[in-house]
Structure 1
Amino acid sequence: MASDNRRIVLAARPKGKPTDSDFRLETGPVPEPGPGQALLRTLFLSLDPYMRGRMSDAKSYAAPVAVDGVMEAEVVAQVAASRVDGLNEGDIVLSRSGWQDYALTDGKGARKVDTGELPLSTALGVLGMPGMTAYTGLLTIGKPKPGETIVVAAASGPVGATVGQIGKVKGCRVVGIAGSAEKCAFVKDELGFDAAVDHRSPTFAEELADAVPDGIDVYFENVGGKVFEAVLPLLNPFARIPVCGLVAQYNATEFPGAVPVPVLMRQALSKRLHIQGFLVFDFNAQEDDFRRDVGQWVREGKIRYREDVVDGLENAPRAFQGLLEGKNFGKLVIRVADRT
């Protein structure tokens, strides 16, 4: 076992885009588990857009990361030593241990995982929180019906990619929105979406309109900003909009105001839109259904996934900054250590 424990802490609250100076790499001793504790060794660390909100002290649904506190994250970890009944050395678990090599747990925040023949990292992606976010948001709020048109923002990312493929399983026409020609080709050619549109194109709004000749019945929102501005006039009466994220606005220092509130409210009224924000833990009761259905669809090849794996805990801050700018391609994870 290593003698040092590296951890990345929040050095300062960002103003706008996070910078290198907002993070600090610290080194200290590996903690020793006491009675009723287990020591977890991080293997994979998940990087997700919601973490930008945890870096702020603005009022939100969850407590912010404290300045000088370890950055928030879900990890796949291996039990290195245990004094907890039911957790044995070598077990693989999910834990919210954060950006560090080692962490202690009392076992309540650790859940054993087995991804079978799939990589352990998928427990943080298609078989984990992003996959469940896609499954529950689309099926519970979006309520897709065969023949309807679904539009998915951030379609090459772990949530959007899964949303679109579930839409195809449900018999819908699916259009993805992504941030480059390469990502659009992946969405259409490898994931099987019916069409894909690059939101960086100067004619994005026109191209999106051409891709949905029958309008939009379900819009899965991950982005906000100019993407939503282009989507809004194309929504059909009684369209459903699960609001999962607004990554285009996370680094904003002032409200962008892309769609004036009166315009949005007029559309919501006249078209009888159903707009609902959600957090994945709103649907914890559906976790067994998610694991059964999405696990089966992955095994059958109906759902494919892509991972963007970055090696080294020390590279997490730069990778996270790139995530907020759309530089990742697939589910972004940090490989911290190899399984022993």
Structure 2
Amino acid sequence: MTIISNKGVVLKAHPKGMPKVDEHFELVDRTIDIENLKLGENEFVLRNLYLSLDPYVRLTLKEHEPKHERTINKASKKQLVQIGQIIIGAGVSEIIKTNNPNFKVGDLVYALNLGWEEYSHIKSDATSNFFFINKDLLKDIPLSYFASFIKRGGLAPYASLKYIGKPKEGETIFVSAAAGFVGQLVGQIAKIKGLRVVGSAGSDEKVDYLLNELKFDAAFNYKKTDLNKALSEYCPNGIDIYYENVGGQTLETVLNHCNQFSRIVVCGMISQYNLPFNEKYGVKNLEIIFLRSITMQGFIVSQYLGTDIQNEFEKDFTEWIKAGKIVYREKVIDGIENIAEGFVNLFDGRNIGRTIVKVSDY
């Protein structure tokens, strides 16, 4: 018998506001007998190597509220985690047992639907969300990068900026939460495309990172600077593209600085994630959208997966990384037992870049 540990993190209670490690998450001791596990048709078993911690997971932890039914689409409703269930995220894994002809033992894969656990038994109806990792690329790129941005993570800023933002050389882009994982990549892609890049962040350390390492044209600490005044100073000719990661009052203020025919790419609204429905900020100047013919569009990264856009992204990013055009910072945490704390810390404003949990050595 080869019974081994398979610790996992389950939802202990639905967070009503800011999630707390001990109150809302529980590390459960479990085991798995891989040798004697009977696999159904097309099923396989993964050894999870790196798990990516993403703010969007917070949206899957809320309790379903029927009175706000219209705010949740059917797909999102299915993704809500129930009490006692393993929390789901993205990451990189190795196939260690398979009954699927498309996957063999030793394959490395990136997946959207990995449990926060050491090993995952993947059923046949979930195998479409797995993407192969070319092992040859590991000579130049760390494996953790595939969990964070070479696959879905980087595809989000790349595709959304290119196909929704439609950047043109010489334009001005403002990026909120610019030192975060998505923001730092958006800013660098925009620089490569010849834009003037302005970003906001929540600490002087982050502002220094944006200016001196990522070479933003301007950056400021929104906690120390009035946003309206900062945008007037650093975007004197207005904003052509706003990359939205924050929402709330920030969106309201930025709208006043948007130019005619500007584009707003809505990636996230992290300031609103931990608020009850009736406490979310109501933006008061949405009429600017039609008065200035502004395009405002959100997206789900899965719409780009498996498309030619994904192929473009992987080719461009691989070349940019090798050429040193992309500077990237990630925080790697060791051990499944630290995943809940790492996730909660995403919302305290201190993180720079993406947080990755190393579950196992490769």
* Counterpart contact for 1:31–1:103, Cα < 8 Å: no
Look up the match of 2:192.
169
Q: Counterpart of 1:92 in structure 2: which amino acid? A: L
Q: Counterpart of 2:16 in structure 1: which amino acid? A: K
Return the alpha-carbon distance in structure 2 between the equivalents of residues 173 and 108 of structure 1. 39
1:208 CA displacement: 2.7
**Does residue 53 of structure 1 match 2:59?**
yes
After TM superposition, the structure 1 stretch with the greater mean CA deviation from structure 2, 28-37 or 301-310, is: 28-37
* Counterpart contact for 1:131–1:162, Cα < 8 Å: yes
1:113 to 133, 136, 153: 133
1:130 CA displacement: 2.1
**Does residue 157 of structure 1 match 2:168?**
no
1:176 CA displacement: 1.1
Q: For this pair of structures, how many residues does the alignment match? A: 336
* Counterpart contact for 1:198–1:204, Cα < 8 Å: no
Look up the match of 1:313.
336
Look up the match of 1:88.
104
Look up the match of 1:16.
17
Look up the match of 1:231.
254
| 2:115 counterpart SS class | coil
After TM superposition, the structure 1 stretch with the greater mean CA deviation from structure 2, 33-42 or 125-134, is: 33-42
* Counterpart contact for 2:91–2:148, Cα < 8 Å: no
Residues 133-166 of structure 1, C-alpha deviation per residue, up to 9 Å, x if partnerless?
1011111111111100001111112211111111
Q: Counterpart of 1:99 in structure 2: which amino acid? A: W
Look up the match of 2:301.
280
Look up the match of 1:78.
94
Return the alpha-carbon distance in structure 1 between the equivalents of residues 349 and 334 of structure 2. 19
After TM superposition, the structure 1 stretch with the greater mean CA deviation from structure 2, 13-22 or 226-235, is: 226-235
After TM superposition, the structure 1 stretch with the greater mean CA deviation from structure 2, 159-168 or 279-288, is: 279-288
After TM superposition, the structure 1 stretch with the greater mean CA deviation from structure 2, 39-48 or 220-229, is: 220-229
Residues 221 and 197 from structure 1, CA distance in 2 versus in 1: closer, same or farther, beyond 3 angstroms? same
* Counterpart contact for 2:272–2:281, Cα < 8 Å: no
Return the alpha-carbon distance in structure 2 between the equivalents of residues 238 and 111 of structure 1. 37
Look up the match of 1:241.
264
Return the alpha-carbon distance in structure 2 between the equivalents of residues 75 and 209 of structure 1. 40
1:174-213 to 2 correspondence within 5 Å? 174-213=197-236
| 2:149 counterpart SS class | coil
Residues 4-53 of structure 1, C-alpha deviation per residue, up to 9 Å, x if partnerless?
11010111111111112111111112153424432211111111011011
- With the length of structure 2 as denominator, give the TM-score of the two structures: 0.88
Look up the match of 1:330.
353
Q: Counterpart of 2:243 in structure 1: which amino acid? A: F
1:102 to 119, 128, 144: 119
Q: Counterpart of 1:12 in structure 2: which amino acid? A: A
* Counterpart contact for 1:144–1:167, Cα < 8 Å: yes
Which ranges of structure 2 fall in alignment gaps of 5 or more residues? 66-71
Q: Hey, which bits of structure 1, 4+ residues long, moved more than 6 A? A: none
**Does residue 44 of structure 1 match 2:50?**
yes
- With the length of structure 1 as denominator, give the TM-score of the two structures: 0.93
Return the alpha-carbon distance in structure 1 between the equivalents of residues 225 and 172 of structure 2. 24
Q: Counterpart of 1:4 in structure 2: which amino acid? A: S
1:257 to 281, 298, 303: 281
Return the alpha-carbon distance in structure 1 between the equivalents of residues 167 and 310 of structure 2. 19
Percent identical residues:
36
